[in-house]
């Protein structure tokens, strides 16, 4: 099926989550001088108009970028994302919204490489034209690449299949964004198959998957299936701006699942997600959930459990006050920490809780098994899970 056009959804709450996380991952990779490669398996048009065409039909940007546009209390971690979008609109009026390829191009350096895939025949033409204009503008400004090789390559084809030829990248540093339309159920299966192959070719790569949180079984099962992939560790965050509607229509929640995430991302999400719930939330069903952990035990590897770090639930009505940077409750282990400290924290929680950290004292809901539906299968050890609601 080639009916999906992202222009209808540009700038919505799901784009805010996806592009905030994407910019965080790219900026982390840019901290080292060595070049890296960014691969976008489903690039779309790369740039979207918000005041004409598709975007005006449902005005979904009113659920995402629009409520943030004039705010003067943006968290520091979210500011680079908003600055990038506003730089695309120098007049100050919200007219254009960047897709993932444009966000990546603006964050990445001259020595880094973009590899973009798009299958839709109309979208690939617009994507190519947008980048042609962008490169022409850079040339007019006197910007010339000093690095050999083509910085941006646009491929008209299936990103699931095309990714194989690009891994591992020459520098052995890279990020892959996978965000298919999910119009057909097979996309969910292909995401997992694609990542299994990618991790064999490039096990140290960083992989980010966007997906819609829907009532359909495939959407509900996807995170649990990704948690079992043989990456070093994973991070999972979802944002819901409202509870589900009675008719089941509309996108109210989406998620980002990152394999081999940077250790800095966890703390940045804890800073931003409560704010997004407060500003974008529509009703008492607005919430975010943040999890981090490692894959289930594989043969020859020791077991470690996945731990739910924080879930935030907006319980007030629209317009009522809500904490935007809630502190962890006393006795909790949700403070920012390096990767090594997080590992030791999981080990401590697995071994026993310190005094005063029980559910009555901290508001932590505890269950005996992890939410992974496969934990009851023979040969798979169950893991504990902790949830906090605000």
Place of tokens 């505890």: 366
The Cα–Cα gap between 253 and 280 comes to 11
The Cα–Cα gap between 74 and 67 comes to 11
Inter-CA distances, 374 with 1, 220, 228, 371, 378, Å: 31, 13, 10, 9, 9
Specify which residues 210 forms β-bridges with: 256
Residue 325 · residue 336 · CB < 8 Å: no
**What is the residue-wise DSSP string for 137-200?**
HHHHTT----SSS-SEEEEES-HHHHGGGG-S-TTS-EEEEE-----STHHHHHHHHHHHHHHH
The Cα–Cα gap between 176 and 178 comes to 6
Specify which residues 97 forms β-bridges with: 48
Which one from 15, 40, 105, 179 is the annotated catalytic residue?
179
With H, G, I as helix, E, B as strand and everything else as coil, classify residue 307. strand
The Cα–Cα gap between 232 and 344 comes to 15
- The conformational region for residue 144 under phi > 0 = left, psi -120 to 50 = alpha, else beta, is beta
176 closest CA partner among 202, 212, 211: 202
- The conformational region for residue 352 under phi > 0 = left, psi -120 to 50 = alpha, else beta, is left
> Is 83 a residue of the active site?
no
Q: Which residues contact 130 (CB under 8 A, 6 or more apart)?
A: 45, 46, 47, 102
Catalytic center residues: 179
């Amino acid at each position: 099926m080639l009916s999906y056009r992202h222009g209808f959804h540009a700038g919505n709450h799901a784009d805010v989550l996806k592009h905030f996380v994407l910019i965080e991952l790219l900026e982390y990779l840019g901290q080292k001088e060595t070049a890296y490669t960014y691969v976008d398996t489903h690039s779309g048009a790369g740039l979207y108009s918000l005041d004409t065409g598709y975007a005006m039909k449902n005005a979904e940007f009113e659920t995402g970028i629009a409520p943030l546009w004039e705010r003067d209390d943006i968290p520091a971690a979210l500011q680079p994302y908003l600055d990038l979008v506003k730089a695309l609109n120098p007049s100050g009026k919200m007219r254009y919204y960047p897709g993932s390829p444009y966000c990546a191009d603006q964050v990445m350096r001259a020595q880094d490489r973009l590899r973009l895939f798009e299958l839709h025949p109309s979208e690939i033409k617009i994507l190519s034209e947008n980048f042609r204009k962008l490169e022409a503008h850079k040339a007019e400004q006197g910007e010339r690449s000093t690095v050999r090789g083509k910085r941006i390559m646009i491929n008209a084809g299936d990103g699931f299949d095309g990714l194989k030829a690009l891994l591992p990248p020459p520098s052995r540093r890279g990020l892959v964004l996978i965000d298919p339309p999910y119009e057909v159920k097979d996309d969910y299966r292909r995401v997992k198959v694609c990542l299994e192959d990618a991790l064999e070719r490039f096990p140290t790569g960083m992989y980010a998957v966007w997906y819609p949180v829907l009532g359909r079984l495939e959407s509900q099962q996807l995170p649990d299936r990704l948690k079992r992939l043989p990456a070093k560790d994973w991070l999972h965050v979802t944002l819901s701006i409202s509870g589900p509607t009675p008719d089941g229509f509309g996108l109210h929640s989406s998620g980002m699942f990152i394999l081999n995430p940077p250790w800095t991302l966890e703390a940045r999400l804890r800073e931003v997600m409560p704010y997004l719930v407060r500003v974008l939330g529509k009703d008492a069903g607005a919430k975010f959930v943040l999890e981090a952990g490692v894959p289930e035990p594989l043969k020859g590897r020791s077991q470690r459990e996945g731990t739910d770090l924080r879930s935030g639930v907006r319980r007030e009505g629209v317009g009522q006050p809500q904490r935007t940077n809630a502190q962890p409750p006393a006795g909790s282990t949700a403070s920012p920490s390096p990767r090594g400290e997080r590992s030791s924290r999981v080990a401590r929680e697995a071994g026993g809780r310190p005094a005063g950290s029980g559910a009555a004292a901290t508001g932590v809901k505890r269950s005996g098994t992890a939410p992974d539906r496969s934990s009851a299968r023979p040969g798979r050890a169950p893991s504990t899970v902790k949830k906090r609601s605000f």
